[in-house]
A and B are shown apart, each in its own frame.
Chain A
Amino acid sequence: MSFDSTYTRELPLVPERSSFKEIDDVIFRPVEEAPTRKWFIAITISSLALMIGAVALANTFYFGIGTWGNNSTVGWGFGIVNFVFWIGIGHAGTLISAILYLFRQRWRTGIARFAEAMTIFAVITAGIFPVIHTGRPWLAAYLIPYPNQNSIWVNFNSPLLWDVFAVSTYFTISFVFWSVGLIPDIAAMRDRASGIKKRIYTVLSLGWRNSNRHWQHYERAYLILAGLSTPLVLSVHTIVSFDFAVAILPGWHTTIFPPYFVAGAIFSGFGMVATVLIILRKVYDMEHIITLDHLEKMCKILLATGSMVGYAYCMEFFMAWYSGYIFEQFVFINRAFGPYAWAYWTMFSCNVIFPQLFWFKKIRRNIPIMMLLVILVNVGMWFERFVIVVTSLHRDFLPSSWAMFYPTWTDLALLLGSFGFFFTCVLLFVKVLPSISLAELKAVTENAQPTHKHHH
């Protein structure tokens, strides 16, 4: 990867002095070796979850959205909660690969590829929900502005339409960014593979020959894509937050939502990346590549974003009181003390209180506690979206139409299925593509650094 001339020595990012060959072997091992038993167990579980989700989806398509818990008062339920949750998960990838790249945060190398892949899968997972949550998903094309003889155009005032553009742009850019980053590594795999694999990797590597010129162009393209992706990190979740902020519903109609949602998205994204990485580095013996230092840095980001989210939670209460708008005041009192108080306090403790433990270095470097906390972050962030969507809707302006939302088995199965889909994708990914950027990693190993003679 790119080097700057003013390189000063930092703590080694890959502590062991592994040779390039060793790194190749470690990183390609999951791809090249026959799937392990652990992998089979994992994919069995995840695809089972996926199948359960598929059954629930078939049920939804056959009978209608009525199979979900949504009702006339609570028009959005798990569908939108899951959508926002997964879009949020997708944010860490781009942040890690683009923003941290631009800021020359080299520690990202070990986790960037993986985080990017997670972004892609999370965005795909997320993208399923807005489509299937509509009453007539077969007419989803109506959301695309295409010329037609009826002269019906889409409504550019609607945040849902902005969503369509934001999410599809985000997916496209992320996908291109990820694919471009993969080219040198795929080429490396091509060089090692044989048979049908070789042919596939040959096609995918787009004729990469490791020439100097290729590298120059590659570096430039990567930088440009990183530049393009960076605003998307902020814009996508900002626009997703508009789905709520543009509405007049108390609890949704809040200007704090864009920054609050972005912080929350990064928070949840890092939570999910950390969750998966902790497992992955263990399963594939990559502890020396995805090091504790990496994880500790992620914990720091979790602490920072978690606190931002906590600030937003508190600020919402302040604004509700300060606005003098009784509808808004009621919504927040109802959130904290109403029938869904359990969801609110689950959210609050998982997202704000528990991550405060990351102030302690011992905890940041303690894998089991870290694992527990990041899982709680995932839970908390899912509940954040649940709290925003459901508790705002269930008791809004007219008490006569107040209602409760209870998920059905279809709702729960679709949530499970979304995890199944995501993890199936992740598992297939680690099986067919290098889950750590080989080229970037090699660039930050000791062997790649300018050395002085006395070291040898």
Chain B
Amino acid sequence: MNKNSELTKGVITSNDLYDTKEETYNNKDVNYWRGFRELYNDPEFRKEVESEFDDDAGKPFDTSKLSAISRRKFLALLSASAAVAAAGCSNYRDKGEIVPFNQKPENLVEGNPNYFASTFQIGGEEIGVLVKSREGRPIKVNGNPEHPVSKGKANLAAQATVLALYDPDRIREPKASSDKNSFSTIQWNDADAKIIETLRAATTAGKEISIFTSSVISPTQRKLFDDFIQQFPTTKIYPFEQVNNSVKNSAWNKIYGQNIAPAVKWDEAKVIVALECDFLGLEDGKTEAMRLFAKNRDLINNPDNYSRLYSIEGSTSLTGLNSDYRLRLRTDAIEELILALVNEFGVKRGGSALSLESGIVSKVSSFNINAVAEKYGLDKEVIGHLVKDLDANRGTSIFVAGASLPESTQISTYLLNEILGNTKLYSFDFKQDLTPLSTTAELADLSGKMKGGQVGVFINFDSNPVFDLPRNLGMAEAIMNVETVISFTEIDNETSIKSNYVLPCNNPLESWGDYNSRISYFGLQQPLIAPLFNTRQKEAVMLNWMRGGNNFNESIYHQYLKDNWQQNLYPILNASASFNDFWFDALHDGFVLLPSQTQESLQFNQSAVIQAQPIKPSGGKVVLLTRNYTLGDGKYSNNGWLQELPHPVSKIVWDNYAAISLATAKANGLDSNDLVNVSIGDRTVTLPVFVQPSMADDVIAIELGCGRSSGGKVSEGTGFDVVPLIGNDGISPWVYNNASISKATGTYELVSTQEHYPIDSPKFKDIQFKRRIIQQGTYKQFKSNPKDIVDRVEVEGIDLREFPSINGEPIKYTGVKWAMAIDLNKCTGCGECIMSCNVENNIPVVGKDQVANKRAMQWIRLDRYYFGTPEDARANFQPMLCQHCDFAPCENVCPVVATTHSEDGLNGMTYNRCVGTRYCANNCPYKVRRFNYFNFRHEFKDYHYHNDSMQLAMNPEVTVRSRGVMEKCTFCVQRVMKARQDAISANRELKGTDVITACQEACPANAITFGDMNDKSDPIQAYRNSDIAFYSLEEVKVRPNVTYISQIFNIEEEIPKAGHHND
């Protein structure tokens, strides 16, 4: 015992206990003893007792024997190792950085979006847009609601600009090449200095400086070019659009002596006859046309005016499928029918609004409606209706010829409108381009000069002449003969890779600009974000060159634009505000209205009609080249969203094809996916064929804009380049009637989002009606007995809402209950809603192979059903999205409660909880659930859209879904929640109209209504209570919350009715 040891102080040991009991042992209490040895106090026993807890237990601590690790140290090590283990197990979820603002920008509240008005140039058109910006990042482009033309609707390419801005393929640094082949990065200053030197040298040597650009519709850009020409007088501007309105305009010019053909007041027309004119799909101004057209296709708000649309066309266009009556007629024969109608209304019947000169009378005398109908097998009943309607609606009917039709057809069409007195339906709010588009002769001249070395500098002003120009101009070789080729571009293209300088230019969302393509207003473009990469605005770069090259800063074009407005626009407006106020107002609005101008009266020049040589249909096949529905002339072909948007008619993605009719396919032994050679003269293109219902026989419709050879990673290997078919021997630059088609070896898989089945076999015929997916009727029925149109499924006397749900107490929905209504009469199937949904909800691009596997991720499907015969099929379009069923069959089968119903009627998805059994998708009768079979951002083109810049494109309000998770339309729950928040903070009731879903926002025809079905004053009530409202697949009794308005065709004949009463 070492009682003095410091360590044992205060520690009670067994020895202490025994010590205190010493007396007990000494005091031999004979009354209490445990054994004799104790009784006799045996020393051995005492020792044993003392060391009862043997070894060291009874002894004081010997620190040297203790473990070197103390309790504290042990705990410290334990926690440290736990921390190491925890840190070592990395979280599979993506990590990001959160960086606070050092200096908070004005008017920016984190988490709240800011909206900026701007204007984009898409092809030759300007689109007034409103851009949503979050924390400085533009994330969504909508139409500008206050804009006189956009009225809140953008178009596909404008919406997809968000992806273009963050496109990982954008060129990040200027680069230069001496041999137009191998490039190296160059500093802007060096490039500028060298280029200025070249420009000066070219001017001195008298060599041309060619600027090749798309349509010039920007006044300040035009001024820039003028100033540039002053500085470098040998400059020449070549504006070019691959598909344009030049034929239409020149025909108008010949007749009325004005340079620009008018548009149509679609909303005032009672009878519209579209001649190869896809005004709802491919023509310029389609967004406005859809909005105006839909006004008279609105049976809920405007039941007494219902226009009738005739389409006379060779290809199957979106407009054709939306028309009430459709005549299939090869494109080069349309003029015969028009001339026959001119003969009918201008000569045979009285009442012509224009007295025809004898030259015209004799010209048209040989054309007779019945004969034309006979010749081309046109439906005589439809012709009869047409003639009757035209007669009854003089002054309120309109013929519109597609921009691709030849000049003589255009002239005849204008004549017919004049005869019928329809000219007041023309809308003159259009201005011709500020620099006329180059003619074919001018372009040929340019090519010749380039080849001949007379062009010193060729500036490709964000265009792509090598790909876009007709190949017989030999641009690819010509460009190699030019000393210095400068390309402004965002993404490398066929021209830039053959340039000496590739100067990366700003995206429209990074640029300043102004536009004036209409008489009534000026559009203003403003940047939403500083350039993401080392890019510059192309106009600013030019300005810098003009000014000697040393004073570039980001605002020089901004200042130039402002100055131009101050000098040239501000004075004519007679505004009372100061220029500064005016300027900021304009920036805020995105446009400036101009004083109205009086339209000079039209003088019809009949001699132009007499001079025009009517088109003679040939025995050959007709090739109709159109712009690409999504990609335009191919400029947007590196945009995955646009590539993957199903073609509204064929539902094909990622490719173009030769569309032919069933009879033409049979006659040539062809089937869809067969490769064919399409030849015009000595020009041949090989591409796959697609048998498209309703095509006119012997017509081959092909979209341009595909098959880019150097258009970025996304466009690689997509589609077929058909520009080589363009030549000088067409009846117009886009229509050829001397073509032939022959089978080539092999096949090519075209991928469509909808399976094809024979629509005329008894198994599938009218299946959309038998299954009550679509309900339809005629306007006649609607007027006489609207209740008769919808075939309802009634369970007598039972309200299914009262049925107990197997999910326990049914939700009572006492507050707001969300519902959607889609008017199938206004919906044209254009696909803008899909694009808007893609952008809003961070929907990944999956690629052609995955669409082929039926794994497209778009939350909205635009279902297209044909009825009738494959030769002359009609179609129904139906946007199909999550129906947010009251008895959602997906909900009760999810084992982990990842999909549930909210108290405001939404069917929600909890991504974090989803394990991905896919049972919900199987049990969904509408098949609107989408499963992330891969992490598509990794899967698509080897992480292409996983790039850093793409992260900026994501909507921060919407979770980016990982692999293995189910997703589907949420009714834009993030917008619902935002509206709810706003209502709460403003201390007011949440109204149904507070929420606008992304699809609704983008729909050019306003076919989608979203609101609160429990609010009797909500506009959605009119739809839900309509006699012609129906639920798709009502029979399945899942109580969907998307109401569809029956499709009503304005025709006289009977039409297949829904229900399976015919079986």
Contacts and interface: CB of A to CB of B under 8 A. Distances in A.
Contacts of A158: 892-895, 919
B927 A72 contact: yes
A340 to B, nearest CB: 14
A221 interface: no
A46 B944 CA distance: 41
A127 to B, nearest CB: 15
A160 B929 contact: no
B929 A135 contact: no
Contacts of B914: 135-136
Interface residues of A, number: 52
Contacts of B965: 135-136
Interface stretch (A26-34, A187-195, A399-407, A431-439): A399-407
A152 B913 CA distance: 9
Contacts of B850: 66
A220 B56 CA distance: 54
Interface in A122-166: 130, 133-137, 139-140, 142-143, 152-155, 157-161, 164
Contacts of A140: 915
Interface in A353-367: none
B232 interface: no
B889 interface: yes
**B889, B917, B929: residue with the most chain A Cβ atoms closer than 10 Å:** B917
Nearest to A153: B897
A274 B278 CA distance: 67
Contacts of A74: 854
B541 interface: no
A333 B850 CA distance: 29
A249 interface: yes
A137 B965 CA distance: 11
Contact of B964 (A130, A136, A398, A403): A136
A75 interface: yes
Contact of A403 (B854, B896, B915): B854
Interface string B1032-1046: 110110100000000
Nearest to A155: B897
Contact of B930 (A72, A142, A152): A72
A249 B923 CA distance: 6
Interface string A374-417: 00000000000000000001001111111110000000000000
Nearest to B772: A326
Interface stretch (B292-300, B562-570, B812-820, B860-868): B860-868
Interface in B891-944: 892-897, 913-919, 921-923, 925-927, 929-935, 939
A143 B896 CA distance: 6
A309 interface: no
A72 B932 CA distance: 9
Contact of A134 (B807, B892, B917): B917
B755 A136 contact: no
Contacts of B1038: 248
A155 B895 contact: yes
B482 to A, nearest CB: 48
B173 to A, nearest CB: 34
A71 interface: yes
Given A64-B934, A65-B964, A70-B933, A399 B768 contact: yes
B897 A154 contact: yes
B547 interface: no
Interface in A235-256: 243, 246-249
Interface string B845-877: 000001001111000010111000000000000
A401 B1063 contact: no
A344 interface: no
A248 B923 contact: yes
B764 interface: yes
Contacts of A398: 771, 773, 863, 880, 925-927, 1032-1033
Nearest to A130: B917
**A64, A76, A402: residue with the most chain B Cβ atoms closer than 10 Å:** A64
A411 to B, nearest CB: 13
A3 interface: no
Interface in B55-106: none
A326 B917 CA distance: 28
A155 B926 CA distance: 23
B556 interface: no
B577 interface: no
A396 B929 CA distance: 14
A73 B915 CA distance: 18
A161 to B, nearest CB: 4
A249 B768 CA distance: 18
**B755, B855, B1063: residue with the most chain A Cβ atoms closer than 10 Å:** B755
Given A66-B933, A157-B806, A136 B915 contact: yes
A159 B878 CA distance: 32
Contact of A70 (B913, B918, B966): B918
A76 B917 CA distance: 9
A172 B964 CA distance: 29
A135 B916 contact: yes
Contacts of A136: 914-916, 962-965
Contact of A327 (B771, B894, B966): B771
Interface of chain B: mostly helix, strand, loop or mixed = loop
B743 interface: no
A103 interface: no
A7 interface: no
B767 interface: yes
Interface in A154-185: 154-155, 157-161, 164
A154 B933 CA distance: 24
Contacts of A404: 755, 854
Nearest to A393: B922
B854 A72 contact: yes
A63 interface: yes
A92 to B, nearest CB: 28
Given A136-B964, A397-B926, A164 B855 contact: no
Contacts of B865: 399-400
A248 B924 CA distance: 8
B843 to A, nearest CB: 13
B34 interface: no
A53 B1036 CA distance: 40
A327 B934 CA distance: 31
Nearest to B939: A66
Contacts of A75: 918-919, 921-922, 931
B962 to A, nearest CB: 8
A168 to B, nearest CB: 13
B898 to A, nearest CB: 8
Nearest to B757: A399
Nearest to B930: A72
A74 B934 CA distance: 16
B895 A400 contact: no
A65 B855 CA distance: 12
Contact of B913 (A142, A157, A247): A142
B79 to A, nearest CB: 22
Contact of B925 (A143, A157, A248): A248
A137 B916 CA distance: 8
B889 A135 contact: no
B792 interface: no
Given A72-B927, A160-B895, 5 more contacts: A65-B916, A66-B963, A134-B916, A246-B892, A401-B927
Interface of B: 754-755, 757, 763-764, 767-768, 770-771, 773, 806-807, 850, 853-856, 861, 863-865, 878, 880, 889, 892-897, 913-919, 921-923, 925-927, 929-935, 939, 962-966, 1032-1033, 1035-1036, 1038, 1060, 1063
25 contacts: A64-B939, A65-B964, A71-B855, A72-B930, A72-B931, A76-B918, A130-B917, A135-B915, A135-B931, A136-B965, A154-B895, A155-B897, A158-B893, A160-B894, A160-B895, A243-B919, A246-B892, A393-B922, A397-B1036, A398-B1032, A399-B755, A400-B864, A400-B880, A402-B755, A404-B755
For the complex of A and B, list the 6 residue pairs with the smallest distance between their C-beta atoms, beginning with the closest. A135-B916, A135-B964, A66-B933, A400-B863, A75-B918, A71-B854
